[in-house]
Amino acid sequence: MRQKTHDTTLGPSDAETGFRVWLRSPAGRLLCERERPHIGRIVRRFHGDTLLWIGPQCDAVATTDRCMVRTRMLAWSSARVSHAGGVGVVAANPVALPFPPHCFDNVVLHHALDVAEDRRAALREVARVLPLGGRLLIVGFNPWSLWSLAKPWRPFRDMHPVSPLRLADWLDLLGFDRERGVHLSYRGALSASLEGRHWKRASEAVNRVQLPFGGVYIVAATRIGHGMTALRRAPLPAPVAASATPAAASSSAVKGW
């Protein structure tokens, strides 16, 4: 089986370009406003020396301004910001991060898996740079929601969101302990002008119940183990020839150990 290779050339993908365009729409700005308080509340519990933010929306890293981490860094394949605001910026492909293992205490994936070239590879890279006890926060679109109706639209056509169940499986395999997630934005990628009193009441009720069909999920996790990906099968001893005598076979088996 051929191993999948990745293009590590830096530059925006079609999915990222479309997502950036949509973020400037009224619905995109409204979604960002709804995400910020939830992200800010979670990252305020982060601690340690370093935090890595990975995602196509560079301005969103400001939600970490009040966390207790000393050094913050933004990494993305097309990282372009007009003001760093005390955050280091490095151009990097999420599937091949240019950092040594266990070098960040906290990582935030802000819609990074939605537009990543290889979602599993990007998540494995995050597990690689996080030590045991490291904290992870993931923000992503939920394909089991009204957002799936926006898939034919150009801004979402090239995106491949990860479902909450699949994400849970991947995190378990990589040795993460998940906290209860938050679901928000149940109505989908609709125009902000559709806001009304009746919808607001219904939206508040649905958000209180926290049904798993919100357009966006926010999941926090802690790395507690190395996961199954760290396992390697030990090589087996060479087989003993059938014509060998019992004594020779026993000797060969011992040498194989």
Whether 4 is covered by a domain: the verdict is: no
Number of domains observed in the structure of the chain: 1
- Where do the DSSP E strands lie in the chain? 50-54, 71-76, 88-91, 106-110, 135-141, 176-178, 182-184, 216-223
pLDDT tens-digit map of 194-236: 456 666 666 666 566 556 667 899 999 999 998 764 434 444 4
End-to-end CA distance of the chain: 29
Whether 241 is covered by a domain: the verdict is: yes
pLDDT tens-digit map of 56-82: 887 788 899 989 899 999 998 765 554
Whether 7 is covered by a domain: the verdict is: no
Sequence-separated (6 or more) residues with CB below 8 Å from residue 218: 35, 38, 39, 42, 137, 138, 139, 181, 182, 184
Whether 1 is covered by a domain: the verdict is: no
pLDDT tens-digit map of 12-47: 667 787 788 888 888 888 888 989 999 999 999 999
Range of 117's domain?
14-256
Whether 102 is covered by a domain: the verdict is: yes
Query: 128: domain CATH number?
Result: 3.40.50.150
Q: Which two tokens stand for residue 186?
A: 């149940």
Whether 198 is covered by a domain: the verdict is: yes
Q: Which two tokens stand for residue 190?
A: 């609709």
For 59-63, 93-97, 107-111, which range has the lowest pLDDT when averaged over its residues? 59-63
- 219, exposed or middle or buried, with CB in 10 Å at 0-12, 13-18, 19+? buried
pTM (two decimals): 0.77
C-alpha angle 229-168-150 in degrees, rounded to nearest 5 = 120
Whether 204 is covered by a domain: the verdict is: yes
Whether 88 is covered by a domain: the verdict is: yes
